């Protein structure tokens, strides 16, 4: 068993190369092993491209070894014709006798059919090696298919005394709570998620562009809640650097269950993950409706004494670290 875990771990490691580019596909990792030696590796190509298994199989130099090898993969090989042909067929075609899988694919198109196909062709299948790690690795994909909503990350920065903005927000130049290193990390995070969402007030008061700067990667789709219909095309969020979607009263009813309705809207638009960057009202709405998965909270050293209060939430602290003078805390919603 330990040997299987070692190679599934390697699958997860290489799968992370697909972070931010495979969406809405899951970022799968695959390793092919012959005689305890890795002879091929692959991860999911950017959306629409090859699946991990295809890349791993084609990376093997000596094809004749495949019929004596074991294929390791984080997610059940697919059985359907999507943008690409079924991976299970390819595994069968190459007579790979052993397949070790981290977790099942909950996409209704697959959902066990890939495993059945492999078994029916005489392939030895082991399912569930490092299952929890693989499910967690594919958290965006599983949340989308099982909870019918995107994976939700709430992010904000607060002063040491618990405010996200000083009282005199409008008169002052922007006041940075966090330092350069923390701000760069946020740009990296933006590349990792399918969409970024903010509320109306944030656009009206901060006029953010919500694009990725200081890091290489895709811009997320920008989503803005336009409750008051005060947004104009001159706001930076509408520049042509990335796609923007507006959720106004044409799409949802702002009187109640706003977060739930936003989730439904995002699900219908196939958005697999979203990072919500403010403001307090929007963040608090998602917290109150218990529609969030992770909080990433920066605490800067500055004191505001009064101002816009940071959101109030309960979560389980998973880890924390310091970035120069800032404290970064990761919380999970255990509900
Ligand atoms: C795999 N290996 O690397 C990935 C899989 O439209 P397609 O053809 O790209 O298929 C997308 C679906 O395939 C996706 O929803 C998920 O069920 C599965 N993703 N499967 O065997 C991979 N990325
Ligand atoms: Zn596939």
Query: How high is the ipTM of this complex?
Result: 0.91
Centre of ligand 1 from the C-alpha of residue 318, in Å? 30
* pLDDT value of position 292: 98
Residue 128: what pLDDT?
97
In this structure, which ligand is nearest to the CA of 101?
1
Q: Which residues line ligand 1 (CB under 6 A)?
A: 25-26, 28, 44, 51-53, 75, 77-78, 82-84, 87, 105, 107, 110
- Rounded Cα distance, 17 and 7, in Å: 16
Under a CB-based contact definition with an 8 Å cutoff, are residues 114 and 105 in contact?
yes
Return d(Cα 15, Cα 249) in angstroms, integer.
39
- Looking at residue 36, its pLDDT comes to 95
Residues of the chain with pLDDT under 70: 1, 169-174, 335
**Ligand that comes closest to the CA of residue 73:** 1
In the reported structure, the alpha carbon of residue 124 is separated from the centroid of ligand 1 by a whole-number distance in angstroms of: 21
Q: What is the pLDDT of residues 37-73, one digit of tens each?
A: 999 999 999 988 999 999 999 999 999 999 999 999 9
pTM: 0.92
Protein residue with least CA distance to atom 14, ligand 1: 25
Residue with CA nearest ligand 1 atom 17 = 107
d(CA 250, CA 323) in angstroms, rounded, equals: 42
CA of 82 to the centre of ligand 2 (A): 9
pLDDT at site 192: 96
- Residue located nearest, by CA, to atom 12 of ligand 1: 25
């Amino acid at each position: 068993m330990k040997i299987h875990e070692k190679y599934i771990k390697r699958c997860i490691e290489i799968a992370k190369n697909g972070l931010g580019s495979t969406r809405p596909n899951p970022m799968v990792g695959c390793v092919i092993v012959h005689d305890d030696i890795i002879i091929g590796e692959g991860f999911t190509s950017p959306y629409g491209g090859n699946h991990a298994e295809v890349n791993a199989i084609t990376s093997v130099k000596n094809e004749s070894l495949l019929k004596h090898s074991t294929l390791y993969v984080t997610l059940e090989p697919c059985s359907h014709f999507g943008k690409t042909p079924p991976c299970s067929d390819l595994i069968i075609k190459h007579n790979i006798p052993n397949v070790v899988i981290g977790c099942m694919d909950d996409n209704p198109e697959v959902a066990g059919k890939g495993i059945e196909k492999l078994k029916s062709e005489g392939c030895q299948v082991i399912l569930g090696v490092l299952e929890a790690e693989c499910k967690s690795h594919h958290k965006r994909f599983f949340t989308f298919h099982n909870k019918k909503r995107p994976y939700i990350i709430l992010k904000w920065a607060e002063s040491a005394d618990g405010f996200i903005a000083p009282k005199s927000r409008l008169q002052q130049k922007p006041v940075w709570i966090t330092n350069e290193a923390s701000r760069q990390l946020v740009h990296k995070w933006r590349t990792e998620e399918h969409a970024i969402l903010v509320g109306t007030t944030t656009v009206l008061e901060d006029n953010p562009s919500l694009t990725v700067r200081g890091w290489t990667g895709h811009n997320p789709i920008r989503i803005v809640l336009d409750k008051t219909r005060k947004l104009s095309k001159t706001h930076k969020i509408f520049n042509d650097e990335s796609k923007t979607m507006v959720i106004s009263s044409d799409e949802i009813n702002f009187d109640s269950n706003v977060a739930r309705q936003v989730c439904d809207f995002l699900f219908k638009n196939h958005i697999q993950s979203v990072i919500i960057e403010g403001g307090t009202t929007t963040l608090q709405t998602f917290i109150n409706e218990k529609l969030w998965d992770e909080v990433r909270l920066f605490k800067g050293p500055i004191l505001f004494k009064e101002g816009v209060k940071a959101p109030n939430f309960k979560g389980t602290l998973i880890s924390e670290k310091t970035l120069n003078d800032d404290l970064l805390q990761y919380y999970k919603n255990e509900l």
